[in-house]
Structure 1
Amino acid sequence: MVFVICILIGILTAFVGGLMGLGGGIILIPSLLFLNQLSDAFSWATPQAIVGISLVSMVFTAMSSTIAYYKRGRVDYKTGLLFLSGSLPGGMIGSWLNQFIDGDQFLLYFGCITIVISLLFFIKRKEPTKQISNNISEIRTFELNGITYQYTVSKWVAFVLSLIVGALSGLFGIGGGSIMVPAMILLFGIPAHIATATSMFMIFFISIIGAGTHIALGHIEWQYVFLFIPGAWIGGKLGAWVNQLLTGKTLEWILRIVLIIIGIRMISQGLS
């Protein structure tokens, strides 16, 4: 039964992650924490073990999704590499800090962050085609489906933001997409389809660093990790395929709803 449940969770989390550029940890982590409280069969699912499993699974989710998005020309590699400059060292810092938090703190902090992110989507965002930067190096131009998009990305803002996102990724095992995708859309005016695809490209590298740190710290339950990898690969490809069928506005609304539901659930668990 544990085998079947882990496979199904792997597919579901990777599908949602690939669809919205989240990596999937934001679904996998609360699911395993809930099962840990529900059944002794999941007694191995401590916060540290779950984060380690989440990050290893996200390597395969992000890889399969990035390949799918690459074939459709949706990944803005230049912007992705800029954000990675802070995310990679941040991921190592967050992974190290993870060992100092307990289950209740983990749930409460994670839930609060999720709710805040979902509420940010109701803030009026930048218009991607109207923003003009005084610094030509900050202007990004990207063509998708015959349409040319222009948006501005400040190098220093991108570095500081990605450093924070990387730290939260390593700390909570969420890949950072649940923070990075809203930031790319709201702060920099990047279209949703480009933001989700570029986020998965970044998550691939962030999760490798985070997973490597957790492996070094001995947080990985390998006998369970391998149950999630097949689902992560399949779900990631499926999510990327469904993504192209939806409009940018639809993706944003799905993201809002998912984040609010998960945030409320985790806060209630953390307080109970």
Structure 2
Amino acid sequence: MEWLYVLMPIAGVKIFWPGLIILGVGVGIIGGFFGMGGAWMVTPGLNILGFPMAFAIGTDIAHMAGKSLISTMRHGKFGNVDYKLGMIMLIGTVVGFEIGAQMIMWLERLGNVEKVVRYMYIVLLALIAWMVFHDINVKKRKEAEMRAAGGNAADAKGVEWHKTFHAIKIPPMMHFNEAGIYCSMWLPVFVSFLTGWLAGILGIGGGLIRMPSLIYIVGCPTHVAVGTDLFEVMISGLYGAGTYTYKGRTELVAAVIMLIGASMGAQVGAVATKYIKGYGIRYAFGIAVIGCITSIVLKLAAKQFSIPLLDDASTAVVLTVVSGLSLYILVRFIQGCQKELAMKAAKG
């Protein structure tokens, strides 16, 4: 089975190349659908496949930049990108990213980077999963209350934390037309700084928390949060790819292998948002986060208790989550296209 492994010349490790293809295609679909680079699955996925953590971070950021460019162009055609909001957020993203990247280099010198990054992932993913499912539960409860009162359940909303943040009117105040919001400029700047910092540390485009932050804190509609986040991921990804390549922590062979599949998958994922809206996207996102937490916990347990079987299970979970979600999005994409064609045929 030696032919299933390829030597990565910069990292100096042999990698199971079919795993790279599955990650590339799957995360291309998922990233285009959720509005993020997908690094929240790819970075731990590359580490699980055998890359040292610093190389997993740098390699994923390089592949993510190209894929996000393709997805952003597609979302822009649907009017899902608030470019003004995205440009404002660049201020915090660049500063936060560089601080995070320098912290990774420091942790690598101390020899603690693997453990710190994995535990940070677990805490962050657990928080995101709670936030998404709490929102869904709040919406369901409000729907039940409105039905009992004879109201329209379709008007029920989940958590609305953004209203509290919009009440903080620190000048300059700005209108963001595509997102349909009016808030202090410093709100998106703060969100982008935090996501940029986490991007530099965890090797993510920031989308893992930027997309839900745009929804819950900034107040963007879900489809606009998806497109705008991809625009921001593209910018931070290009900057991050240059930073990590300069530091010698990018495996370009792996990045190119994944990018070929991701560029095709991203088209499918982006178009699928036409057919799966709002809470459908949020629910699928929450499931993906739980799957990612499970894989990281299994990887940590395998090292802690020296059980190789758990290591294999960790790899299987990552690839299963990516494949399963990709298949779900692809099926809904095909169903949506068929329905749209049928409606056009009926009108014609």
Output the TM-score relative to the length of structure 2.
0.69
Aligned to 1:82: 88
Deviation at 1:266, TM superposition (A): 1.6
Range 219-228 or range 149-158, more displaced: 149-158
Change in 2 beyond 3 A, CA 1:116/1:204? same
Range 192-201 or range 227-236, more displaced: 227-236
Structure 1 CA distance, aligned partners of 2:214 and 2:183? Answer: 9
Deviation at 1:216, TM superposition (A): 1.0
Instruction: Say if 2:178 is the partner of 1:138.
Output: no
SS in 2 for 1:218: coil
Range 224-233 or range 208-217, more displaced: 224-233
Deviations 1:117-150 (A, max 9, x none): 221222512578xx788678333332xxxxxx63
Aligned to 2:258: 228
Letter in 1 for 2:18: V
Structure 2 CA distance, aligned partners of 1:238 and 1:31? Answer: 22
Instruction: Say if 2:120 is the partner of 1:109.
Output: yes
Alignment of 1:19-168 (within 5 A): 19-36=33-50, 45-99=51-105, 100=107, 101-121=112-132, 122-123=134-135, 124-126=159-161, 137-142=173-178, 150-168=180-198
Structure 1 CA distance, aligned partners of 2:120 and 2:233? Answer: 21
Amino-acid identity (%): 24
**Greater RCO, CA 8 A, separation 6+:** 1
Letter in 1 for 2:284: I
Deviation at 1:155, TM superposition (A): 1.6
Instruction: Say if 2:238 is the partner of 1:202.
Output: no
Runs of 4+ in 1 over 3 A off after TM superposition: 131-136
Structure 2 CA distance, aligned partners of 1:8 and 1:212? Answer: 25
Instruction: Say if 2:48 is the partner of 1:12.
Output: no
Aligned to 1:239: 269
Letter in 2 for 1:164: L
Aligned to 1:40: none
Deviation at 1:232, TM superposition (A): 2.1
Q: Which of structures 1 and 2 has the bigger CA Rg?
A: 2
Letter in 1 for 2:74: A
Deviation at 1:189, TM superposition (A): 1.7
Deviations 1:154-195 (A, max 9, x none): 222222221111011111111101100111101122110000
Output the TM-score relative to the length of structure 1.
0.87
Deviation at 1:268, TM superposition (A): 4.2
Q: Mind listing any 5+ residue stretches in structure 1 that lack a counterpart?
A: 37-44, 143-148
Range 119-128 or range 188-197, more displaced: 119-128
SS in 1 for 2:173: helix
Letter in 1 for 2:160: R
Contact residue 18 and residue 239 of structure 1 kept, 8 A: yes
Structure 2 CA distance, aligned partners of 1:213 and 1:125? Answer: 37
Letter in 2 for 1:139: H
Q: CA RMSD in A?
A: 2.0
Structure 2 CA distance, aligned partners of 1:138 and 1:103? Answer: 41
Contact residue 140 and residue 151 of structure 1 kept, 8 A: yes
Structure 1 CA distance, aligned partners of 2:114 and 2:24? Answer: 21
SS in 1 for 2:180: strand
Task: Count residues in correspondence.
Answer: 256
Deviation at 1:9, TM superposition (A): 1.2
SS in 1 for 2:243: helix
